[in-house]
Structure 1
Amino acid sequence: MRRLLVLGAGTAGTMVVNKLRHRLARTDWQITVVEPSDTHYYQPGYLFLPFGMYRAEQVVKPTPPLIADGVELIRGEVDRVTAVDNRVLLSDGRSLPYDYLVIATGVTPRPDQTPGMLDGGQWRRSIFDFYTYNGALALAKALDAFEGGRLVVHITDMPIKCPVAPLEFIFLADAYLRQRGMRDRVELVYATPLPGAFTKPVASARLGSMLDDRKITVEPDFLVERVDGTTLVSYDEREIPFDLLVTVPLNMGADYVARSGLGNELNLVPVDRHTMLARAYDNIFALGDANDIPTSKAGSVAHFSVDVFADNFVEYAAGKPMTGSFDGHANCFVESGDGKALLIDFNYDTEPLPGSYPVPFAGPFRLLDEAAVNHWGKLAFRWMYWNVLLPGRPIPLPAHMSMAGKHTPKSEE
């Protein structure tokens, strides 16, 4: 009996075990997933909680029913991986052997990594996050009680989960404040370590113009050194005072990755960016947010990369070369407020471009263009996530990015 051990039952881990359970013979393979939580969270929904667009119960489900029959689910915390012995040690002393290991424990916000963010007395008073379930719920109360002043949306450093989410938040905040009739009493500031609104030129120009149109001040190249009371202070000593700070703390992989000697300085596992095979070991893979591939840490990346990985793993376990090659494909809906959103679609080599998706010219989704259909697409994805994506059912979208339906703006040609 060969043993596949998966660490983490988030998006990537759940998809992996559900897909492979149907691909690997039960008489030959034992599949086990380790997960510390009894609850699975729909993380894209966190964005909507502070604005009352989702109810809390819409973004949570119990973990066990989401795991396919024939997969062993172990509740536990990972203490470390002893890769030389092909074992995972849990914090309660249990030892789990494996033939193949998949690390899918993602990343988490680490406000403790920024001096003054947690220990300055302002956490969940004037400083909030929305990248956690409890943080998003606490922020909902803070926004409801907010009477005006300077609201700052801030990114500590890249990479982060869903890099467009902070932009979405400030667009939604602008619309929310207008709907409450108090936009003129609020100064909105977007502080980012990037030189512009996004990492790629065409999308950055489009999103930057949207910030300008909404009279949102951008503080680019802002690398925070500390939080001093109710002021952000950068390494170059720029200061941004705030009345309400919505921050995206440093995102880091699980601490056990560092204890196991498997990660980089952010506890991300270095892998081959096309196969997700760890560079240091030939029987360890890292999927979803847990690896260091140079693309967005987004649910779509987990989806597309797991599609490629599942086929590759079947080949690899049979002693054959892996023929699939993940191209870094990502697509993200970008909520822009007032019932509209954009869509961006890109990969390792191609930046987000205008056009239509997934069908050339027909769409129905519009790339880099605000449209109601994109907003409804984002809302509809929640149903797709629970009922199609997590169970490992096929979605009729190619894992690899296509240039069909896209065009390069004339200024960029």
Structure 2
Amino acid sequence: MKHLVILGGGTAGTMIANKLRHRLDRTEWRIAVVDRDDEHHYQPGYLFVPFGGYTHEQVVRSRHTFLPDGVDFVFGSVDEIDTGENVVRLDSGRALPYDQLVIATGSTPRPDQTPGMLGPEWRRSIFDFYTLEGAEALADALARFDGGRLVVHVTEMPIKCPVAPLEFTFLVEAWLRERGIRDQVELVFVTPLDGAFTKPVASAHLGGMLDERKVHVETDFLVERIDSERKVLVSYDDREVPFDLLVTVPLNMGADFVARSGLGDELNYVPVDKHTQLSTEFDNIFAIGDASDIPASKAGSVAHFSVEIFVDNFLQHIAGRPMTGAFDGHANCFVESGDDKALLIDFNYDTEPLTGKYPLPVVGPMDLLKETRANHLGKLAFRWIYWNVLLPGRPVPLPALMSMAGKHVPTTAPEKQEA
């Protein structure tokens, strides 16, 4: 009997378990999923919690209910991976042998990595919304907030769902208007990037939306520490951004066991081939979703699309054949913009977000890089799709690889000819 061990029962790990259980011979392969608890969180829902949009019960369900019969669910925290012995060692002392290993333990906010972030103002005037506890605490803080300087801050890239800080900024701006206190609040968006987003075309578009909403943008800001006594962000170049209420996105890192096992980069992400997700060092270890170092957004859509490519590749790999699938970094994200509207962006490693229609040319029904109510409804509908279609591994009628169908490719003006 051969053993496939999947570390992490989140989006990628659950999808892989569901899809491979139906494709692997049960008399030849045993599948185990390892996670430290039985709570599966719908992380995109965290964004709405501070505004009363979702409750705890709507974003948390039991992990094991999404795993198929024939998959062992192992409770435990990973201590290390012994790549020499092909064994996963848990904190409890239990050892799980593997023939093939999938690391799908995601990415975690680490406020402990920024001096002063976890000081006396944590969850008093400094909040995050990348955890459910943080989002719930922020909801209480916003309910009490009646004016001042509200700063939305990104510590460093990469982060899970890189558009989420912008979404929060748009939503809180609309929420302040609805409460009638927008004129009493100075909104500031602080980013380590040189613009609003990582992709130039989308960055310019989203940056323009911030300007329209009178949000000041502080770019190229690499935070060195937070002076919680003075309530000030301090950068490495000694710039300071004061705040009354700080909504921060802490440094995101991969799991600590990845570092202990000698498998990660400086942020504990596993180096892999960006097209196959196979480890660059070990031919029986894959890293999927946020756990890998691929140069794509750390978003649920990337996990979904990459898993679609991974499954057939994995079956070829264990059969001793070359992997023929090549993931292209495909990501698409709804970007909430407030007032019950949202944008949709669709891109990959090589192609920036473009305007147009998605997923079908002309028909859509979604508009790309355009604020519409249909996009907002699509974002809300995705929660049902996530629980009932994606996690169980059911087919989704969207191509895993990015399509140019329906996209408007900008034309460049011809260069002037010299006389």
Q: TM-score surpassing 0.5?
A: yes
- Residues 330 and 345 in structure 1, CA contact (< 8 A), matched pair in contact too: yes
Question: Match of 1:183?
Answer: 182
Cα distance in 2, alignment partners of residues 297 and 84 from structure 1: 29
Q: CA RMSD in A?
A: 0.9
Q: Report the 3-state secondary structure (helix = DSSP H, G, I; strand = E; otherwise coil) of the residue aligned with 2:408.
A: coil
Where 2:379 maps in the other structure, the secondary structure is helix
Deviation at 1:412, TM superposition (A): 8.5
Question: Partners of 1:103 and 1:143 in 2: how far apart?
Answer: 37
The number of residues matched between the two structures is 412
Give a deviation string over 1:143-179, Cα, whole Å, max 9, x none. Answer: 0110110000000000000000000000000000000
**Alignment partners' CA distance in 1, 2:362 and 2:312:** 31
What is the 5 A alignment of 1:330-369? Answer: 330-369=331-370
1:20 matched to 2:45? The reply is no
Query: Residues 22-50 of structure 1: CA distance to partner in whole angstroms, max 9, x if unpaired?
Result: 00011111000001011100000000000
Counterpart of 2:153, as a letter, is H
Indicate whether 1:225 and 2:191 are aligned.
Answer: no
C-alpha separation between the residues in 2 aligned to 1:191 and 1:86?
Answer: 44
Q: 1:320: Cα distance to partner?
A: 1.0
Q: Which amino acid counterpart does residue 55 of structure 1 have in structure 2? A: T
Deviations 1:322-359 (A, max 9, x none): 11100000000000000000000000000101111000
Matched AA of 1:63: R
Residue pairs, 1:243-262, within 5 angstroms: 243-262=244-263
Report if the CA contact (8 A) 1:38-1:63 is conserved: yes
Task: Give SS of 1:315's match.
Answer: helix
State the Cα deviation string for residues 48-76 of structure 1 (Å, max 9, x = none).
00011112210010111111110000000
Aligned to 2:288: 287
Change (3 A) 1:91 1:64: same
Aligned residues of 1:253 and 1:268 also touching (Cα < 8 A): yes
Equivalent residue, structure 1, for 2:134:
135
Q: Provide the C-alpha distance between the structure 1 equivalents of 2:413 and 2:146, rounded to a whole number of angstroms.
A: 43
- For 1:234-273, list aligned pairs within 5 A: 234-273=235-274
What does residue 94 of structure 1 align with?
Answer: 94
Amino acid of the structure 1 residue aligned with 2:162: P
5 Å-filtered alignment, 1:115-154, equals 115-118=115-118, 120-154=119-153
1:30 paired to 2:21: no
**Cα distance in 2, alignment partners of residues 37 and 195 from structure 1:** 39
For 1:35 and 1:395, how far apart are their aligned partners in 2? 26
Partner Cα distance (2:34, 2:333) in 1:
28
Offset from partner CA, 1:74-109 (integer Å, 9 cap, x none): 000000000111000000100000000000000100
User: What is the distance in 2 between the residues matched to 1:148 and 1:68?
Assistant: 50
Structure 1 Cα separation of the partners of residues 413 and 279 of structure 2: 36
Structure 1 residue aligned with 2:417: none
Aligned to 2:47: 47
**Kindly tell me: are residues 396 and 177 of structure 1, through their superposed partners in 2, closer, same or farther at Cα, counting changes over 3 Å?**
same
CA drift of 1:409 comes to 3.5
Alignment partners' CA distance in 2, 1:253 and 1:82: 18
**One-letter code of the match for 1:94?**
R
Aligned position for 2:313: 312
Deviation for aligned residue 1:408:
2.7
CA distance in 2, matches of 1:389, 1:293: 21
Where do 4+ consecutive residues of structure 1 move more than 3 Å?
A: 409-413
Counterpart of 2:330?
Answer: 329
CA distance in 2, matches of 1:412, 1:379: 40
Distance 2:49 2:412 in 1: 38
Q: Distance in 2 between matches of 1:26 and 1:400?
A: 30
Structure 2: how far apart are the matches of 1:38 and 1:158? 29
Partner residue in 2 for 1:397: 398
Q: TM-score, normalised by structure 2?
A: 0.97
Cα deviations across residues 100-127 of structure 1 (Å, max 9, x unaligned)? 0000000100000000101x31100000
SS in 2 for 1:102: strand
Return the alpha-carbon distance in structure 2 between the equivalents of residues 410 and 328 of structure 1.
Answer: 24
Identity of aligned residues (%): 71
Quick one: which amino acid aligns to residue 77 of structure 2? E
Give me the whole-angstrom Cα distance separating, in 2, the residues matched to 1:129 and 1:281: 36
- Structure 2: how far apart are the matches of 1:243 and 1:384? 38
The whole-number CA distance in structure 1 between the counterparts of 2:25 and 2:408 is: 45
CA deviation profile, 1:242-282 (whole Å, cap 9, x unmatched) = 00000000000000000000000000000000000000100
1:177, 1:183 within 8 Å by CA — same for their partners in 2? yes
Between the aligned partners of 1:121 and 1:412, the Cα distance in structure 2 is 56
Task: Name the CA distance, whole Å, in 2 between partners of 1:215 and 1:55.
Answer: 30
The CA distance in 1 between the partners of 2:199 and 2:100, in whole Å, is 36
Measured in 2, the distance between the counterparts of 1:294 and 1:380 equals 28
Q: Distance in 2 between matches of 1:300 and 1:395?
A: 12
Confirm or deny: 8 A CA contact 1:275 1:324 kept in the other structure. Answer: yes
Whether the aligned pair in 2 keeps the contact of 1:354 and 1:409 (CA below 8 Å) is no
Any conservation in 2 of the 1:192–1:220 contact (CA below 8 Å)? yes
Name the SS of the counterpart of 2:367 in structure 1.
strand
Gaps in structure 2 of 5+ consecutive residues? 415-419
Is 1:108 the counterpart of 2:100 in the alignment?
no
